[in-house]
Amino acid sequence: MKQSERLVIASVLGLVVVLVLVDIFNDSREGVILWHVLFEGLIGSVAAAGIFYLMRGTVTLRHRLEKEREDFSSFKVEAEGWRADSRKYIEGLARAIDQQLSKWHLTTAEKEVAFLLLKGLSLKEIAEVRNTTEKTTRVQSMAIYAKAGISGRSELSAFFLEDLLVPSETSIESPALK
């Protein structure tokens, strides 16, 4: 429920509480029977409880939203820190990949396609990014595989990632892997 909707409902319930109180005051002056006054008091109490429930929900929602903002902020700071710490390694990796692509004698366009393949884009997505046809992208990717002496995207990725993704010492010693 939106904040504005909560406010409207709480205002209506507040008006009900005020009107019930005025009616109880007038009824008590006129000598109306007790059960009638008690029933109207119950209605006013229910309306007041509704106001309390709505306002409590609003406060709870605000606290939860603030906590989510704080969590997101700390996550964002952590992510930025990781990016900053790893930037030199990523730049070094990008240079190393570029050097290997040059060793394979890839054209500039083929290098661009190779990097996009490594990022996980589909041939259709690569064609859209580069403003070419999917057929052109397919031909360029086949040229990349042929010049590199590999059979496809999986081997291309494995060529660069194989040495990066070494298992940790604990997983090497794990009985499940033996």
CATH code, 136: 1.10.10.10
Is 151 domain-assigned?
yes
Query: Tokens 């990949």 map to which residue?
Result: 97
Number of domains in the chain: 2
Residues 48 and 19: their CA atoms lie apart, in Å, by: 12
Are 97 and 115 in contact by the 8 Å Cβ rule? The answer is yes
Is 62 domain-assigned?
yes
Is 92 domain-assigned?
no
Are 143 and 110 in contact by the 8 Å Cβ rule? The answer is yes
Domain match, 37 and 119 both: no
**Residue 134: is its pLDDT beyond 90?**
yes
Each residue's pLDDT tens digit, 67-85: 999 889 889 988 888 888 8
Domain match, 160 and 112 both: yes
Name the residue range of residue 113's domain.
104-166
Is 93 domain-assigned?
no
Is 177 domain-assigned?
no
Residues 101 and 99: their CA atoms lie apart, in Å, by: 5
Quick one: pLDDT at residue 120? 93
Residue 141 exposed, middle or buried by CB count within 10 Å (0-12, 13-18, 19+)? buried
Domain match, 20 and 54 both: yes
Residue 82 tokens read as 């990781």
Quick one: pLDDT at residue 89? 81
Chain Cα centroid distance, residue 149:
39
Is 171 domain-assigned?
no
Are 106 and 156 in contact by the 8 Å Cβ rule? The answer is no
Domain match, 14 and 77 both: yes
Residues 174 and 60: their CA atoms lie apart, in Å, by: 46
Confidence of residue 175 (pLDDT cuts 50, 70, 90): low
Domain match, 80 and 123 both: no
